[in-house]
């Protein structure tokens, strides 16, 4: 009875921790998403200002206008880089949340990659099956086909991103292990040589 109670307690504790991590990730997504949108809007404002500066200041020295436009485009570039970093963070968190909800949890890397490939194939099969059905429905079928295609592309890109991230993690772990073995053998050689 005691072991059954402790197992139940551990399961509840594990699910509580997982739920707590999911809530933390969800909160972080809610915080990062407005920042992401704000950076995109600011970059768009800088880009539009650059275009307007060239149009409004036609009569002024061309070098001054060129430098002003370059400065404004650099400002837009800075905000686009910030957007990229925020987008990577949001994508990473959203990928973790979505994959946990789909049922792909932290597992062995080969299994995770295999499940991602299965999800990609399943997405392609669903899109291929729904295509002919949506073609004969109504006059809005081109719009539905586009929405379905873009949604499928987004899902496939998400799974490909997860595969790439997993492969990167595998490579990084192997490289760190190799570096640790090399450094430990060097230390042993130095210790034996003294």
Say if residue 171 is in the same domain as residue 113: yes
Strand runs (DSSP E) across 84-157, as ranges? none
**Does the pTM exceed 0.85?**
no
Is the domain of 97 the same as that of 115? no
Q: Residues 123, 98: one domain?
A: no
Say how many residues make up the chain. Answer: 194
- Longest CA–CA separation in the chain, Å: 88
The whole domain housing 65 covers 1-103
Kindly report, residue by residue over 71-106, the tens digit of the pLDDT.
Answer: 888 888 888 878 877 777 777 777 777 767 766 566
132 plus 81 within the same structural domain: no
User: pLDDT tens-digit profile of 97-141?
Assistant: 776 776 656 656 777 777 788 888 888 888 887 776 666 655 666
Distance from C-alpha of 87 to C-alpha of 176, rounded to nearest angstrom? 27
Label residue 10 by pLDDT band (50, 70, 90).
very low
Q: So what's the pLDDT on residue 13?
A: 47
Task: State which of 88, 103, 118 marks the end of a domain.
Answer: 103
CA distance linking residue 32 with residue 182, whole number of Å: 40
How many folded domains does the chain comprise?
2
């Amino acid at each position: 009875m005691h072991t059954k109670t402790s197992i139940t307690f551990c399961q509840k504790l594990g699910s509580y921790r997982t739920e707590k991590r999911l809530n933390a990730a969800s909160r972080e997504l809610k915080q990062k998403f407005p920042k992401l949108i704000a950076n995109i809007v600011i970059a768009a404002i800088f880009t539009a200002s650059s275009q307007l500066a060239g149009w409004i200041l036609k009569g002024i020295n061309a070098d001054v206008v060129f430098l002003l436009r370059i400065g404004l485009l650099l400002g837009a570039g800075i905000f686009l880089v910030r957007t990229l970093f925020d987008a990577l963070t949001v994508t990473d968190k959203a990928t973790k949340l979505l994959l946990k909800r789909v049922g792909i949890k932290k597992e062995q890397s080969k299994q995770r990659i295999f499940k991602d490939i299965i999800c990609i194939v399943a997405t392609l099969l669903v899109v291929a099956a729904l295509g002919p059905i949506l073609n004969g429905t109504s006059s809005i079928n081109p719009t539905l086909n586009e929405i379905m295609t873009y949604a499928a592309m987004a899902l496939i890109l998400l799974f490909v991103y997860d595969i790439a991230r997993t492969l990167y993690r595998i490579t990084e772990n192997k490289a760190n292990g190799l570096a640790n073995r090399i450094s430990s053998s060097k230390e042993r050689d130095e210790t034996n040589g003294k």
